[in-house]
Structure 1
Amino acid sequence: MYTSLVRAQNVFGFFTTVAFAVAALIAGTDLLAPRTPSGTIRPTNTQVVKGRPHYYSTKREEYAIIKFSLDADLSSLFTWNTKQVFVYVTAEWPAAAGNNATNQAVIWDQIITSPSSDHLANIGPATLRKLKKSAAGKPIDPSRGKLSLKNQRPKYQITHPSSRIAETDGVELRLHYNVQPWVGALTWDQGRDYGRWKATAGGASDAFALPAIKKKDDGDKSDSSSSSSKKKTNNNNKKKAKA
């Protein structure tokens, strides 16, 4: 009962109990910190092109490219327990009639680290030095949660399992986030208020429709007509010069 092994087990058991109690207390403090995220997002340019899913594929699919502008204030998500915030934008549109579901695809994402976790950022050495220098002496830097993107190119092109996405109606862009704490559970954006945690104000664009695919034949016809008109003009000029 009083051997060294038993005493070591008792000390370890007491240590783990205290550690779990402190961790639960730290995680509980996040519930007391208010969250008031907000954002406005709108599409600036949309186009649909045809392409292959990979190099060796012979199948051609339709891909939508959606540029957008985003102004968001996620500074309230950064507390002393925040490790990093994962921000992403999705394109959402209703499924076919009779299917009670919503299609959702990510078109852009970004990881925003806290000053205490800058060493985990997957960026180049020069950018990392600038990032650390901008937050020198700051345990928390809420200004990192303020995003302003103008005519942002998407990171990902989106498609549909049917390989058809052109002329899709009711498409919306939505802003989402995921808070990753040092201690505690992962939390996502919610659709309604929970205590001091408020739902994202705004964060969704007006519904819009994806355009049709520009037919290659139309471009070829216009090119051929323009080239033929140029040839006629050149021939007329030559005849005038000879005369």
Structure 2
Amino acid sequence: MHSIYSRVNNVSATLSSCLMVLLAAIAISSLFMGANPEGTLDIAQLRVFTGQTRRWPHQRQEFGFVNFNVTADLTPLFHWNTKQLFLYLEAEYTNAKGVKNEVVIWDRIVRRKEDAVINVVGKNKYPFREISSKFKNSEPAHFSLKYNLMPYVGALTFGEAARTETALDFPEAKEAVS
């Protein structure tokens, strides 16, 4: 005779196995739902100013200020397994020392398909500064709008929705007005 404990254990093991198989099937099927969102990214203005940092008040550092226009239709990315999208505008450049930098300067979270048509005229949300304190002799910067699709079940999916066609040179730094 089987005890009640062993019967409950067998039923719960069977149900949890079926649930894991179902979740694996959902995750695998989401990988085949590829979409190619389209968008445009225009950098209206890139300015560089010299200023003081909070961390080292006696050290001067160059800060970049970017004005941009983003237009993108991300509705193809939303399907039954999409929880939310994380969008971010990234600047990619190589500094004078040969180090490749990828800096996030703006981001947004999109939770609904109705909000997935993006039309933003804005400026950088986060500080854009060079770790070596000067943008001088850096290679031109490429800007791109990237996304991270977060599903209910499965792996995160990364992609790129828009990219600037030409790289932008960093202008000479101007002294910040206090």
Give the structure-2-normalised TM-score. Answer: 0.87
Residue deviations 1:17-60 (CA, integer Å, cap 9, x gap): 11111111112221332401112112112211223332673323
Residue deviations 1:119-154 (CA, integer Å, cap 9, x gap): xxxxxxxxxxxxxxxxxxxxxx3x42221122x111
Alpha-carbon distance in 2 for matches of 1:188, 1:159: 25
Alpha-carbon distance in 2 for matches of 1:29, 1:61: 49
Q: Identity over aligned residues, as a percent?
A: 31
Alpha-carbon distance in 2 for matches of 1:214, 1:52: 13
3-state DSSP of counterpart to 1:72: strand
3-state DSSP of counterpart to 1:178: strand
Shift of 1:168: 3.5
* In the alignment, structure 1 residue 147 sits paired with structure 2 residue 145: no
Aligned residue type for 2:117: K
Residues 52/6 of structure 1: CA separation in 2 closer, same or farther (3 Å cut): farther
Aligned residues: 177
Residues 93/178 of structure 1: CA separation in 2 closer, same or farther (3 Å cut): same
Cα RMSD of the aligned pairs, angstroms, is: 2.3
Give 2:169's aligned residue: 209
Q: Is the 8 A contact 2:95 2:139 kept in 1?
A: no
Residue deviations 1:159-199 (CA, integer Å, cap 9, x gap): 1221112564311111110000111111111xxxxxxxxxx
Q: Which has the larger radius of gyration?
A: 1
Aligned residue type for 1:206: T
Residues 161/207 of structure 1: CA separation in 2 closer, same or farther (3 Å cut): same
Q: Is the 8 A contact 1:71 1:147 kept in 2?
A: yes
Aligned counterparts, 1:174-193, within 5 A: 174-189=144-159
Residues 164/206 of structure 1: CA separation in 2 closer, same or farther (3 Å cut): same
Give 1:130's aligned residue: none
Alpha-carbon distance in 2 for matches of 1:103, 1:36: 26
Q: Which runs of 5+ in 2 are unaligned?
A: none
Off by >4 Å, runs of 4+ in structure 1: none
* In the alignment, structure 1 residue 170 sits paired with structure 2 residue 140: yes
3-state DSSP of counterpart to 2:129: coil
Residues 204/14 of structure 1: CA separation in 2 closer, same or farther (3 Å cut): farther
Alpha-carbon distance in 1 for matches of 2:175, 2:32: 56
3-state DSSP of counterpart to 1:91: strand
Alpha-carbon distance in 2 for matches of 1:185, 1:8: 32
